[in-house]
Amino acid sequence: MTLFADLKKAIGTEWTDYTEHEFVRKLGEGTLPLPVFQDYLVQDYHFLVQFARANALAAYKSRKLADIKDATGALQAILHETELHRRLTARWGITEEELDAAAEKQTTVAYTRYVLDTGMSGDLLDMHVALSPCSIGYAEIGVALEPQRTRALDAGEEHPYGEWIAEYSGTEFQTAARAATERLDALTAGSVTAERFDSLVEIFRAATRLEAAFWQQALDSAD
């Protein structure tokens, strides 16, 4: 079993609280109100900006060329991901200048700064564990929602969030997620002490809770 699988098992239902959150369920059903999705996407764009900084920090903290290449590859994947956000927001009439100028909400700040702080104060493994609920979790969510997108297409309909689902269920993101999973195992050299594992679980738990809070932040925008 991979380190990522062990971490998921260690936090129990907190993982599904994130991956099966009401936001995710409604997005898959196509019933998520568009203003809620729009609020999420703008905040997620700003999240990705900070996520890119975190991967740049991972490259800086790397001591091996292979690790630097991994971090650079992850950074490129994030830059590609932001194109989805820019494409969708442009359709809604939001200019790039307006997108860049949008204020980060409280949960966005809390989550991104937690990841960056973990990277600054910890080692490379700590950082990648903090990144993993997003970098690997979104791939899991994409696969889970893909059948709903496919059913809509088979029925001759267009899923309202099909483009988002296709991004995270697609080959490029799935490949990046597999690389992130393998990276965690490579950084542990196949084993970690019980004490070290416990500390990684707490990082993983905190980041997963913040992911769930990020979904909730978008839902709360409708109030």
pTM of the prediction?
0.94
Q: 48, 97, 99: which is closest to 77 by C-alpha?
A: 48
Alpha carbons 214 and 106: distance in angstroms, whole number: 9
Active site residue 211: yes
Alpha carbons 121 and 132: distance in angstroms, whole number: 17
Alpha carbons 114 and 111: distance in angstroms, whole number: 5
Question: Would you state the pLDDT for residue 66?
Answer: 84
DSSP state of 105: P
Question: Would you state the pLDDT for residue 78?
Answer: 86
Question: Would you state the pLDDT for residue 159?
Answer: 96
CB 180 within 8 A of CB 75: no
Neighbour-count burial for 150-186, b at 16+ CB within 10 Å, e otherwise: eebeeeeeebebbebbbbbbeeebeebbebbbebbeb
Alpha carbons 175 and 68: distance in angstroms, whole number: 18
CATH of the domain at 119: 1.20.910.10
Residue 119 is part of which domain span? 3-220
Question: Would you state the pLDDT for residue 49?
Answer: 92
Question: Would you state the pLDDT for residue 99?
Answer: 93
> What's the domain count of the chain?
1
Question: Would you state the pLDDT for residue 74?
Answer: 80
- Catalytic residue of the set 81, 140, 167, 211: 211
Q: 199, 216, 44, 208: which is closest to 133 by C-alpha?
A: 208
CB 71 within 8 A of CB 59: yes
- Catalytic residue of the set 134, 146, 163, 167: 134
Q: What is the mean pLDDT of each successive set of 10 residues along the chain, which is 223 residues long?
A: 96 98 98 96 94 88 84 84 92 92 96 94 94 96 97 94 96 93 89 94 98 98 84
Helix (H, G, I), strand (E, B) or coil at 75: helix
Question: Would you state the pLDDT for residue 63?
Answer: 83
